[in-house]
Amino acid sequence: MGKSSLKETSFAMNMNSVHSRETVCVFGTGDFGRSLGNKMFQCGYSVVFGSRNPELSGLHPKGIEVLSYKEAAQRSDLIIIAIHREHYNFLIELAEELQGKILVDISNNLKINQYPESNAEYLAELVPGAKIVKAFNTISAWALQSGTLDASRQAFVCGDDKESKQRVMDIGRTIGLTPMDQGSLKAAKEIENYPLQLFPMWKFPLYLSAALCVFYFVYCLLREVIYPYIQEEKDNTFFLAISIPNRIFPGLALNLLALVYLPGIIAAILQLYRGTKYSRFPNWLDHWMLCRKQLGLVALAFAFLHVMYTLVIPIRHYVRWKWSSRIINQIKTNKTDPFNTTTAWLSDSYVALGILGFFLFVLLGITSLPSVSNTVNWREFRFVQSKLGYLTLILCTAHTLVFGGKRFLSPSILRWYLPSIYVLSLIIPCTVLVLKFILVMPCFDRPLTRIRQGWERNSKVSKKAQLGSGNNEV
Amino acid sequence: MGKSSLKETSFAMNMNSVHSRETVCVFGTGDFGRSLGNKMFQCGYSVVFGSRNPELSGLHPKGIEVLSYKEAAQRSDLIIIAIHREHYNFLIELAEELQGKILVDISNNLKINQYPESNAEYLAELVPGAKIVKAFNTISAWALQSGTLDASRQAFVCGDDKESKQRVMDIGRTIGLTPMDQGSLKAAKEIENYPLQLFPMWKFPLYLSAALCVFYFVYCLLREVIYPYIQEEKDNTFFLAISIPNRIFPGLALNLLALVYLPGIIAAILQLYRGTKYSRFPNWLDHWMLCRKQLGLVALAFAFLHVMYTLVIPIRHYVRWKWSSRIINQIKTNKTDPFNTTTAWLSDSYVALGILGFFLFVLLGITSLPSVSNTVNWREFRFVQSKLGYLTLILCTAHTLVFGGKRFLSPSILRWYLPSIYVLSLIIPCTVLVLKFILVMPCFDRPLTRIRQGWERNSKVSKKAQLGSGNNEV
Amino acid sequence: MGKSSLKETSFAMNMNSVHSRETVCVFGTGDFGRSLGNKMFQCGYSVVFGSRNPELSGLHPKGIEVLSYKEAAQRSDLIIIAIHREHYNFLIELAEELQGKILVDISNNLKINQYPESNAEYLAELVPGAKIVKAFNTISAWALQSGTLDASRQAFVCGDDKESKQRVMDIGRTIGLTPMDQGSLKAAKEIENYPLQLFPMWKFPLYLSAALCVFYFVYCLLREVIYPYIQEEKDNTFFLAISIPNRIFPGLALNLLALVYLPGIIAAILQLYRGTKYSRFPNWLDHWMLCRKQLGLVALAFAFLHVMYTLVIPIRHYVRWKWSSRIINQIKTNKTDPFNTTTAWLSDSYVALGILGFFLFVLLGITSLPSVSNTVNWREFRFVQSKLGYLTLILCTAHTLVFGGKRFLSPSILRWYLPSIYVLSLIIPCTVLVLKFILVMPCFDRPLTRIRQGWERNSKVSKKAQLGSGNNEV
């Protein structure tokens, strides 16, 4: 949005520029009403407040009048209703004054879907003669007041009357916002729910990763700290800072990445089983599919942490001490470790696989930025998210497998019968990859492709189509 | 796009909200037609399908009727044509029913520029009495069906009749898309080509870097693996995982970055030579200049990989073994390496130059994100991409030069007469920097600036301007 | 902006597509006038130039006519004024020809706010019978000419007449731009100032960090290079490349991050002291608050550099030499350093704190990308920037504190009475954190919250509200 920067910098300059004075009326002298009124006043509008008790309505900048509702309404054909929905009733008495005027509903509720219909639609029912526009409810009074609109300047606007909507959008632009037309008044409910949300699509990914995190942590604590303490009386508590996180994070990253691709596989199996794509998926699967992007980004965050924790390894006091004591030991025992090409191969390969996997992972993350994903078409998006996504999963799984190397089958890695954490981490990714591998085999891929193109196993249309009567439809 | 998140989260909530039922007609019961129809039905529209064989048209949700084309057309003044272009002919017979109605062309072709005119313009010719709107062809049926619109929600819309376009954009908003007005029906061709593209601007950069990559790989294989194997019978194959990529990637990054700035220099030389900026560049130069951004991003990707491969050096088994064997050797021979300030200087400088170069490179990459480059004006963009870009090139070239250090002129680095890969990598960047240095010298910079401001060596206007008759034009 | 990619790729394809020829007139044959005219001609418009001296107006592509102003004006109802504001006077004589026509003002000035009113508003005064649209002044002639619109394609458009604005926006779309409606002609001043800016909000953060940088550099030079040289005759100059920057950068990053949160604390204290939020802050505080985002991003840049400089530590020649000489020394003196769990704890903790702090810092940076911050609502933005921001500050401060560890109180770290640089770096962050800690205590937090909801200590309204007469206003 170029606009943000346009507005940002002009904010300081243009504040007092003289405009031809258009009068706007604001009903209600509460915080947001005042902030909005003052802001419009600063930006060159003539502002009149309407209040129950005009004489009590506090300090206003010179030039702003506070009148009774009735008087104020007569001054302008555009009235901003800065009143809580519960008190809209008084507007019924003003029906005559409000006839044909533009009423801007800026109200918010306390919780999502609090009322059956949106506040703006309720207002439209109460004052049928007026043109209702929903706007400005997504803006914070504090931001308007202080001018620090560093968050989104987007102001969603909707309404059934196009002229009125344009008037309100013009006001929005003048006070430094970026109005976004959301269509008819039906959209008001969404717009009213919008400011109440707190990362709704992130909840499942975050809770899931928190749960997995706790499980992994306890598991590692047992194997890496408590076991050595009990069996060998070694104090490994300092592993809590880096060593243990660096076992938890890669495991989480790999598993969450696999969980991004699992719902697609479940959906494919369901479609193959049902023989149609037109039945709805179960709700849990729908929700899972809707938050795949967020799951992937959480996975990327853990991968990033894993990379950082790995790169600092040589700086750690413990690691330096271990290296020097190994060298000193070699000299004291006069036994030099010979160079082992296989170990060099394994060590270099798992590092290289990890780097390439992380690189593709970062690429996936970048393409999921809204401004980037908006510049690619559907075909390009599918290519990146599906092809590159699976390649990332393959590389990261291979990275973990090679990291395990020869130790997989050795019983020495079991402590209290618990295998290393990376063995556990491989279960889901390997399952996903095996299932995907089965699904891309022609015997499954062909019917699946047909189903996804609209073919149905038990449909007369599809049978007709199979009989070769031609398909002229998109 | 705030909308994406607005829509995303409201998707689950608002799906069944009751709207005043507007009727939309869909011609064709193919996959995309059905998906779109069902989606509109879910979002509160009354939907009627028109079909050749209404009785054969398969299962539809309750409440959706399938009628003959004629009957269906009579039900609504907005008809979505979900039929392939090849079968549009039947619409001629319906001309009477379609008179004055809005026809929405959602068709796609199989390849770019398949027909001389766009499908929508062809439709407009066939049914001259209707108002044609091109829309929804960039949306995937699968995404509409499953509700997982995780790619772009942008739906390009164009058409000559503003009212009709607004109606279609409102439908788009209601079913969760972000309609983007693309102007008149002339834009239909672009909109029809859009979904068929697969990263068109990336092809040249990717093929070029693939070719360079292969060349560098074979070169390094010869020098680093085959030569030692033949001359010293050393098995260096494990270099393939990290050491060799870490010679290929920095070379590629540096050369591709230089190739970003080379076309600008060639253009400047051409302009100086021709004495005007109004002649067109040759096609290859035009295309090269158009994909500079993509070249730069590929270069950044390789630089990122180089950084990662470099940072893992101390973790590699081979490197650890080499360090310890060197220390053990010093002790055994009782000869301690003295500290050499010059080596410390060289080692620290090339690392520091590399970090600063990479930092500026990342900065360039961030400013090329669409949402960031949209917030800067032309002057700021030029400053970043040109000034900072050249600084990056200078730093990265210096990084490579200092890395080479004293070894450049020593013949010991030749193996089979092949110099080290970094020597080759320096050719293009150094050429670019030398040419740029020449071009910024006043004797070349002054005429170039005048040419770029519109001056022409062989033009009477320019001569007039030189004679001081004043220039009142922008 | 999906459009950019839509346009980008279609640029080469569609250049010569045949459109129904609409005639556009361009007054002035200067560089930008010619570039724009030729571009429109290429994109299918019929173009006529108006000039003072039509016969002198240089080479034009075949099919473009150059006429006198009067004749040219008669050819089209849309005239692009490619003339400097100083020469607008001649338009007065053409008043009759221009009556009712659309005049597009594309002029720019040489400095910000050069004239009291915008060029477009001045034009509207001169030719009161015409419909003025401001457009295209933010586009570069060079970009139009060469087709390499790799910077922003956004073209800000404003004007009082909606029809005219639409016409101009359609032309913009046809020549490959993304027109952005900025409302009425009042916005012209902003649009004219826009292309003249060079990162206005970045100036304060960059100057501040440059000043801090110089101070830190001199300080470190004294302590780390000059002191050892004078006291111990040690040549530490090579510290200039990595060691000293790696002391400067973390200090800068931490202090700049703290300075992002300091103005919010000062504002809170001011509001508590004044008992109202409706008084304006002093100008310096306003400006400081407006560039907090930029301050934070500069801090992130330094943090990134610090991370890179830290990760290369084990690759440095000096560090490798120091490690080996320490090991060799241990062997020679036959004294092995015992493993110290406390040191391991301290070393691992400060590294882990640093990584987590950097991770959150990067997260803050990503959410400040325009396209990301546009997808979050105000509540989410506050959560990320305030909660996560303070957590970042706490983690980074703790990282520095633990890094210092036991050395804080030891006098041995003083050189010429100068403490280590990290001690200085802690002053501002610790102050900010202590003040914030005081402000979140209920005795301060409760009145502050009330003030921010609009309550005023000295207002009759607020007193009324306190008396429980109910608050029905938003």
Q: Is the pLDDT of residue C1 over 60?
A: no
Confidence category of residue A426, pLDDT binned at 50, 70, 90: very high
Confidence category of residue C408, pLDDT binned at 50, 70, 90: low
Q: Give the residue from chain A lying closest to B303, CA to CA.
A: A359
Q: What are phi and psi of C277, to 5 degrees?
A: -105, 0
Residue B283 forms contact with A (CB below 8 Å): no
- How far is the C-alpha of A105 from the C-alpha of C289, rounded, in Å? 30
Residues of C in contact with A312 (CB under 8 A): 310-311, 351, 355
Residue B359 forms contact with C (CB below 8 Å): yes
Angle between helix C427-439 and C245-274 (nearest 10): 30
* Helix (H/G/I), strand (E/B), else coil: C89: coil
- How far is the C-alpha of A368 from the C-alpha of A293, rounded, in Å? 8
Residue with tokens 């990445």: A257
Q: What is the pLDDT of residue B13?
A: 36
User: Can you say whether the dihedral through the CA atoms of B394, B399, B405, B407 is positive or negative?
Assistant: negative
Q: Distance, in angstroms, between B210 CA and closest chain C CA?
A: 22
Name the residue among A31, A241, A304 with its Cβ closest to that of C349: A241
Q: Give the residue from chain C lying closest to B459, CA to CA.
A: C58
Instruction: Give per-residue pLDDT as tens, B206-259.
Output: 999 999 999 999 999 998 889 889 988 888 888 999 999 999 999 999 999 999
Asked if C313's CB is within 8 angstroms of A325's CB, the reply is no
Residues of B in contact with A371 (CB under 8 A): 1, 369-372, 374
Instruction: Give per-residue pLDDT as tens, C6-33.
Output: 444 333 333 333 345 789 999 988 888 8
Q: Which domains does chain C have, with CATH numbers?
A: 2-196 (3.40.50.720), 200-465 (no CATH)
Q: What is the mean pLDDT of chain A?
A: 84
Write out residues 95-154 of B within 8 Å (CB-CB) of C. 112-113, 152, 154
Confidence category of residue A120, pLDDT binned at 50, 70, 90: very high
Name the residue among B190, B197, B453 with its Cβ closest to that of C14: B190
Residues of B in contact with C224 (CB under 8 A): none
Question: Quick count: other Cβ atoms within 10 Å of Cβ A128?
Answer: 10
Please say whether the beta carbons of A134 and A72 come within 8 A: no
Within 8 A by CB and 6+ apart from A70, the residues are A50, A94, A97
Please say whether the beta carbons of C128 and C142 come within 8 A: no
Instruction: Give per-residue pLDDT as tens, A135-179.
Output: 998 888 777 766 555 556 788 999 988 889 988 998 888 887 888
Least-confidence region, from A17-21, A448-452, B284-288, C91-95: A17-21
Residue B270 burial (10 A CB sphere; 0-12, 13-18, 19+): middle
Across A216-225, average pLDDT: 91
Instruction: Give per-residue pLDDT as tens, A344-378.
Output: 898 899 999 999 999 999 999 998 888 888 888 88
Q: How is residue B99 written in tokens?
A: 């008179």
The beta-strand segments (E) located in B127-171 are: 131-134, 154-159
- How far is the C-alpha of B243 from the C-alpha of B225, rounded, in Å? 10
Residue B12 forms contact with A (CB below 8 Å): yes
Residue A111's nearest CA partner among A209, A210, A198, A240 is: A198
Q: What is the pLDDT of residue B42?
A: 81
Q: What are phi and psi of B418, to 5 degrees?
A: -95, 125
- How far is the C-alpha of C298 from the C-alpha of C294, rounded, in Å? 6
DSSP-assigned states of every residue in C152-208: --EEEEEES-HHHHHHHHHHHHHTT-EEEE--SGGGHHHHHHGGG-S-GGGHHHHHH
Residue C71 burial (10 A CB sphere; 0-12, 13-18, 19+): middle
- How far is the C-alpha of A136 from the C-alpha of A201, rounded, in Å? 24
- How far is the C-alpha of A117 from the C-alpha of A119, rounded, in Å? 7
Q: Is the pLDDT of residue A206 over 70?
A: yes
User: Can you say whether the dihedral through the CA atoms of C314, C320, C325, C327 is positive or negative?
Assistant: positive
Given a contact as 3+ CB pairs under 8 Å, which chains touch B? A, C
Question: Quick count: other Cβ atoms within 10 Å of Cβ A324?
Answer: 20
DSSP percent split of chain C into helix, strand, coil, nearest 5: 65, 10, 30
Asked if B369's CB is within 8 angstroms of A374's CB, the reply is no
Q: What are phi and psi of B133, to 5 degrees?
A: -125, 130
Cα pseudo-dihedral A367, A373, A376, A382, rounded to 10: 70
- How far is the C-alpha of C9 from the C-alpha of B192, rounded, in Å? 12
- How far is the C-alpha of B121 from the C-alpha of B136, rounded, in Å? 16
Across A185-195, average pLDDT: 87
Given a contact as 3+ CB pairs under 8 Å, which chains touch A? B, C
Residue C320 forms contact with A (CB below 8 Å): no
Confidence category of residue B56, pLDDT binned at 50, 70, 90: low
- How far is the C-alpha of C84 from the C-alpha of C73, rounded, in Å? 18
Asked if C349's CB is within 8 angstroms of A195's CB, the reply is no
Q: Is the pLDDT of residue A446 over 60?
A: yes
Instruction: Give per-residue pLDDT as tens, B349-405.
Output: 999 999 999 999 999 999 888 888 888 888 888 888 889 999 999 999 999 999 887
Q: Is the pLDDT of residue A180 over 50?
A: yes
Cα dist. A5→B362, C1, C119, C386 in Å?
A: 21, 16, 21, 22
Q: What is the pLDDT of residue C296?
A: 94
Q: Give the residue from chain B lying closest to A370, CA to CA.
A: B1
Asked if C343's CB is within 8 angstroms of A317's CB, the reply is yes
Name the residue among A6, A84, A169 with its Cβ closest to that of C194: A6
* Helix (H/G/I), strand (E/B), else coil: B22: coil
Confidence category of residue C287, pLDDT binned at 50, 70, 90: confident
- How far is the C-alpha of A7 from the C-alpha of A255, rounded, in Å? 43
* Helix (H/G/I), strand (E/B), else coil: C138: coil
Question: Quick count: other Cβ atoms within 10 Å of Cβ A442?
Answer: 8
Q: What is the pLDDT of residue B394?
A: 96
- How far is the C-alpha of A94 from the C-alpha of A362, rounded, in Å? 58
Residue C233 forms contact with B (CB below 8 Å): no
Instruction: Give per-residue pLDDT as tens, C183-242.
Output: 788 888 888 988 888 888 899 999 999 999 999 999 999 988 898 899 888 888 889 999
Asked if C8's CB is within 8 angstroms of B180's CB, the reply is no
Q: Is the pLDDT of residue A336 over 60?
A: yes
Asked if A151's CB is within 8 angstroms of C376's CB, the reply is yes
Name the residue among A12, A28, A371 with its Cβ closest to that of C1: A371
Please say whether the beta carbons of C298 and C205 come within 8 A: yes
Q: How is residue B93 written in tokens?
A: 């017979």
Within 8 A by CB and 6+ apart from C399, the residues are C350, C353, C354, C357
Residue C401 burial (10 A CB sphere; 0-12, 13-18, 19+): middle
Residue B65's nearest CA partner among B80, B45, B48, B42 is: B48
Q: How is residue C266 written in tokens?
A: 């000062």
Residue B190 forms contact with C (CB below 8 Å): yes
Q: Distance, in angstroms, between C57 CA and closest chain A CA?
A: 36
Q: Is the pLDDT of residue A80 over 70?
A: yes
- Strand bridging mode B78-81 / B23-27: parallel
Q: What is the pLDDT of residue A20?
A: 52
Half-sphere exposure of A455 (CA within 13 A, CB side): 17
Please say whether the beta carbons of C247 and C224 come within 8 A: yes
Asked if B147's CB is within 8 angstroms of A286's CB, the reply is yes
Write out residues 157-186 of C within 8 Å (CB-CB) of A. 162, 180, 182-184, 186
Q: What is the pLDDT of residue C32?
A: 85
Residue C30 forms contact with B (CB below 8 Å): yes
Amino acid (one-letter) located at B364: L
Q: How is residue C331 written in tokens?
A: 């062997």
